[in-house]
């Protein structure tokens, strides 16, 4: 299983009228790029991928499930509309999981960032850093969670907290948009597993 946990400080309200006119908030644009690179193949959506959106200043986490996603296209307008609809359902939270018809789950979550990441079930956790091991050196396990900070790199205090959890640093240049880290990981896993639905063929 391929898991990506995109961490962002905050998220703005998505205005459909502005979106129709081509105005997209920078955070939404970068988040949309992460969603596209995580899920899209040339001939469809990766069924073996799950993406978490962890917003640090909110008390909820969003989970997108590749095998259940609907109405998602590779363009920024499509990903923005999906996010707009999911964020609009946050008000329905009542100490329970809310299932969206589009393959998105919303969890109420008051924990800090490290605890939120710890609660995601994965045998292995990696994150990008300006210093770290080359990705080809990592012996992968059956499920891997790749933490993706939208503001890259993590500050030193957060990097230290992640290392204390046993999470592994992977080298990634600061010269590229962080969604390129997702591309790097997906290409690496494709070489190991293929790009079939179960991630192990």
Which residues have a Cβ under 8 Å from the Cβ of 155 and sit 6 or more positions away? none
With pLDDT > 70 as the criterion, what percentage of the chain qualifies? 95
Please tell me the pTM assigned to this model. 0.93
Residues 6+ apart with CB under 8 A from 180: 37, 172
Domains and CATH numbers, the chain: 2-193 (3.40.1280.10)
Helix or strand holding residue 41 (H, E): strand 40-41
**Per-residue pLDDT tens over the stretch 59-104:** 889 999 999 998 888 899 999 999 998 888 887 776 666 767 789 9
CB 51 within 8 A of CB 64: yes
């Amino acid at each position: 299983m391929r898991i990506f946990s995109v961490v962002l400080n905050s998220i703005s309200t998505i205005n459909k009228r502005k979106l129709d006119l081509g105005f997209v908030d920078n955070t939404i644009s970068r988040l949309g790029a992460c969603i596209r690179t995580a899920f899209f193949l040339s001939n469809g959506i990766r069924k073996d991928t799950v993406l978490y959106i962890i917003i640090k200043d909110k008390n909820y986490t969003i989970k997108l499930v590749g095998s259940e996603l609907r109405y998602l296209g590779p363009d920024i307008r499509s990903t923005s509309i999906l996010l707009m609809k999911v964020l609009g359902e946050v008000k329905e939270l009542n100490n329970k999981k809310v299932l969206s018809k589009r393959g998105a789950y919303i969890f109420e979550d008051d924990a800090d960032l490290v605890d939120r990441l710890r609660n995601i079930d994965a045998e292995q956790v990696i994150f990008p850093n300006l210093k770290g091991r080359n990705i080809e050196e990592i012996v992968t396990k059956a499920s891997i969670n790749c933490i993706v900070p939208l503001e890259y790199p993590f500050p030193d205090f957060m990097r230290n907290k992640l290392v204390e959890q046993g999470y592994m640093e992977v080298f990634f240049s600061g010269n590229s948009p962080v969604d390129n880290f997702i591309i790097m990981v997906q290409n690496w896993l494709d070489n190991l597993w293929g790009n079939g639905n179960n991630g192990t063929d």
